[in-house]
Amino acid sequence: MEYSFINQTKFYKGKVRDVYTIADKYLVMVASDRISAFDTVLPKAIPFKGQVLNELAFDFLGKTKHIVKNWSIVSPFPTVTIGYKCEAHKIEVVVRGYLAGHSWREYQIGKREICGVHLPDGMLENQKFEKPIITPTTKADFGHDQDISKEEIIEQNIVSKIELENIYAKAYKLFEFGTEHAKKQGLILVDTKYEFGKLNDELCLMDEIHTPDSSRYFIENNYQKNLNKNLPQEQLSKEFVRQWLIANNFQGKENQKVPEMSEEWVAEISEKYIHLFEKISGEKFLKVSLTSKREFENKINSVIDGF
């Protein structure tokens, strides 16, 4: 559903978020229940997914403002965050503490260098790196993001060397914070994605952080046992959706068809997201139903009017 707000100057529909620009200064970011994987929006929405992502992200943004300035100001509704419009850097920064997901899939086919980072031979799937690594990607407006090295980012003048060093330093500190929080919840923060931009010439953290859509978590208690036995890790992330798609012959490649999503599977995904929220946050998830379009717009407009 598309809304209309006072002083609105632009609207952008992303894969899972709808972004409204207000007076060319603020953003109203509405987290929808759409779900995407392999850069593809899947055909059915997942109830309460938007609320899960927005509430987790807003909480983590609030808790990390001492590390780096971020775009968020207020969350007037469980699926909405209002914040500053930043000038986005055209890269995404992925911090990886473990060889999992995309990095493992690349490693498994023989690659020993990912985004300019050299990896040793003989590593196991989900094995911890000696120290976390950063594997950046380009941020594509359309289609697939592409792996890119730190050196290529500088050579192509996407981000200056000084700014990139600052981004890396802040990304590592955010990952350290996320790791410590996860440990308190009996979890391991495996990898996560950050997006940065600039606000008044100052580095600014954008979008969501440490959510199950942008991050991968393992259950800490079973990690070493599963690693020793070469068993899959019990994890809290969107990876279970990716694995279902892979098992049904879909990875977003040309001529591949998205498999049918049954109502039972949609309900199961929804319950998993709620479980992810409760495990990551340590709090009970309270379902909030959407109000009418008019009530929703009035609620958001009342906040915008106060800026």
The residue-averaged pLDDT of 108-119 equals: 94
Token readout for 70 is 């971020």
The per-residue pLDDT for 290 is 75
**Beta partners for residue 92, in sequence order:** 137
- Cβ distance 9 to 23 under 8 Å? yes
Closest by CA position to 102, among listed 141, 137, 153: 137
The per-residue pLDDT for 142 is 55
Q: Looking at the predicted structure, is the pLDDT value of residue 98 above 90?
A: yes
The per-residue pLDDT for 141 is 60
User: How wide is the angle at C-alpha 141 spanned by C-alphas 136 and 145, nearest 5°?
Assistant: 30
Q: How far is CA 124 from CA 31, 94, 159, 201, 229, in A?
A: 36, 20, 33, 42, 11
Q: Looking at the predicted structure, is the pLDDT value of residue 237 above 80?
A: no
The residue-averaged pLDDT of 81-95 equals: 96
| CATH numbers and ranges of domains, the chain | 88-240 (3.30.470.20)
The per-residue pLDDT for 240 is 85
Q: Looking at the predicted structure, is the pLDDT value of residue 30 above 70?
A: yes
| 243-286: pLDDT as tens digits | 899 999 999 888 899 999 999 999 999 998 999 899 999 999 99
% of the chain beyond a pLDDT of 70 = 98
Q: Looking at the predicted structure, is the pLDDT value of residue 69 above 80?
A: yes
The per-residue pLDDT for 20 is 97
Confidence tier at 140 by pLDDT (50, 70, 90): low
Mean pLDDT of the chain: 93
| 150-169: pLDDT as tens digits | 999 999 999 999 999 999 99
Closest by CA position to 19, among listed 88, 69, 122, 108: 88
